[in-house]
Amino acid sequence: MDFQAFYAGRSFDAYEYLGCHLLPETAGAVFRVFAPAAQAIDVIGEFNDWAGTPMERIYDGNFWEVAVPEAREGQLYKYRIRRPDGLAVDHADPFAFGSELPPGTASAIRRLDLYAFADSAWLASRTDRRSKPLNIYEVHAGSWRRRRDGAPLSWHELATELVPYAQAQGFTHIELLPVAEHPVDESWGYQITGFYSPTSRYGTAADFQAFVDACHRGGIGVIVDFVPVHFALDSYGLSDFDGTALYEYPHTDVGHSEWGSRNFMHSRGEVRSFLQSNARFWLEEFHVDGLRVDAVSNLIYWQGDAARGENADALAFLRTMNAGLKERYPSAMLIAEDSSPFRGVTGPASEGGLGFDYKWDLGWMHDTLAFLATPARERPAAYHKLTFAMMYRYDERYVLPFSHDEVVHGKGTIVGRMNGEYEEQFAQARALYMYMYALPGKKLTFMGNEFGQLREWSEAREQDWEVLRYPMHDAFHRFTRDLSKIYAAVPALSERDFSRDGFAWIDCVSENRLVYAFGRTDGATTLVAFFNFSRAGQRFVLTRNMLRELAEAAGAGFAQAPERGVKSSTRLELLLASDRDIYNGTNQYSDGQEIAMPGTACAVPLAPFSAKYFLLHE
């Protein structure tokens, strides 16, 4: 490790030096820890009956080291740190690659080279998906499914069950809520004590490597949530690590977070090196395909409050980290969970942006769900909640998320938030998802949403898979699967997500009818989508002039270039209808059903609370 780079906040490899590293053959292990204010440190563990082996100061006196010949893979250990005030406190290793199963709090000696990956072809062909479908299935590993005894599945069991499920449902990626070690399930992994330790709840580091490899062999990418804002305040973790505020701010007004945890002090180079090395750790050692960075607005602004101003040190950290990661892993995705108005989140760090590939569009999510929670008779006044997002769509590269945050804390579930009676809720949810998948932007949905779960998510139990015995949920499950497969199969729905010539409105001014229509194109294929969010049936009259305007608005990429006009053979081929009987709707359609336009117009019938996709043919 370059010590000066570590102090300056430029290190991306701190974990290769610090922590516990097994020596060749049976020579034991070497332990290293950064603790400048410590008066003395012993490493205690199963290899010395927890009696303690003194560590020696090395380099400039801020680092400590000891070799323990008796140390072996899997053994538990801690650092007993004597603080400046004379108290001795036992801490887990900040750089440990394994942890004791909670409620135990010790670190575990783990190798990172026990598993041999077989995903070289995947990594060689991997991209950041900017012009490809990106359909993310957000998962909490401990509550997706559970064993009969209520215990969470292991990484091996998840590889056996979750990977084929994601394939069947048409997802391209699985996004995991934080998998780093955390003390209590109720934090969902967002309050961390072991940043370099995959949680022992589901297995070892090697087990997690095998899970990621299984995903790749199944054609599924893996994104993990990364938490660089705050950490758990448990006494055995990073808090007051050497008797001083080594990782956190020393002042409570900025040192304590809104989640009851401690905020990282990003003005310290050592903290920045700790975090960006941790980001590289997941990409390098586990071959994950992306990081979803949590609570980015709390890095942009002090305590996430724009009124308190920008946090210059945290912004510098983000730019350095993202630029360094993209230089090392150009095909990996960096995704910001950010609700702030800060401009340039997905702009290049070299040009003053933050260097992310994508940003969650939380404004779109809030507006869309608010619109559909409104009674149908009141929706005309709220009509433009659905159109507003297109006003800023090309300012950043967006992911459209229906995440875990929308199905907890009394919010209900996605289907449950639709206004109306039971069957109307499902009809609207089908139209909602078609609206989401047709808009420019990548897609994310939380587990359970895909089959219309009606119970709020709890980390303490598995999803309500038994509801698939009921026709409404089973049909919704089939619908979301078919929707995902159409999204993957039609390049017009993803190739020009971030280009203005890939989208154009046909109708976004029918406030009283609550009808919307627009087109998507990749330059070769045109898809036209229609939506009716009213309780009344509608007939949308599509005219040749609308198609000409569509071509003009989106450029010559649309099939009907304005100078060529619209041919008399123009027809619409039905791809998907949310009111189809197989989805528990009220209408029957034949596959490939067409609507011809022999004259100047054709009528597209729209059932109440429904949507349709058509391919446009000349």
| Phi, psi torsion values for 478, nearest 5 degrees | -65, -40
Nearest to 358 by CA among 319, 398, 417, 317: 398
Straight-line distance from the first to the last Cα atom of the chain, in angstroms, rounded to the nearest whole number: 63
Q: What is the DSSP letter of 343?
A: T
3-class DSSP state for residue 329?
Answer: coil
Q: In whole angstroms, what is the distance from residue 165 CA to residue 143 CA?
A: 15
**Residue 337 annotated among the catalytic residues of the structure:** yes
Strand (E) positions, 55-189?
56-58, 63-68, 76-82, 88-91, 107-108, 135-139, 173-176, 180-181
Q: Residue 4: what residue type? A: Q
**Residue 423 annotated among the catalytic residues of the structure:** no
* Active-site choice (242, 294, 406, 497): 294
Give the CA distances from residue 74 to residues 66, 92, 282, 405, 512, in Å, rounded to whole numbers and listed in that order.
Answer: 18, 15, 20, 35, 66
Helices (H), 22-72: none
Nearest to 47 by CA among 26, 71, 25, 31: 71
User: Whats the size of the chain, residue-wise?
Assistant: 618
Answer yes or no: are the C-beta atoms of 408 and 417 closer than 8 Å.
no
Answer yes or no: are the C-beta atoms of 139 and 169 closer than 8 Å.
no
DSSP conformation letters of 357-424: SEEE-HHHHHHHHHHHHS-GGGHHHHGGGTTTHHHHTTTS-EEEEE-GGGGSTT---TGGGSSSSHHH
* Active-site choice (181, 240, 337, 338): 337
What residues contact 233, with CB distance under 8 A and at least 6 apart?
Answer: 191, 239, 260, 261, 262
Tokens of residue 396, six digits:
């950043």
Angle at 88 between CA 83 and CA 93, to 5 degrees: 85
Torsion of CA 53, 58, 64, 70, to 10 degrees: -40
Q: In whole angstroms, what is the distance from residue 395 CA to residue 392 CA?
A: 5
Active site residues per annotation: 294, 337
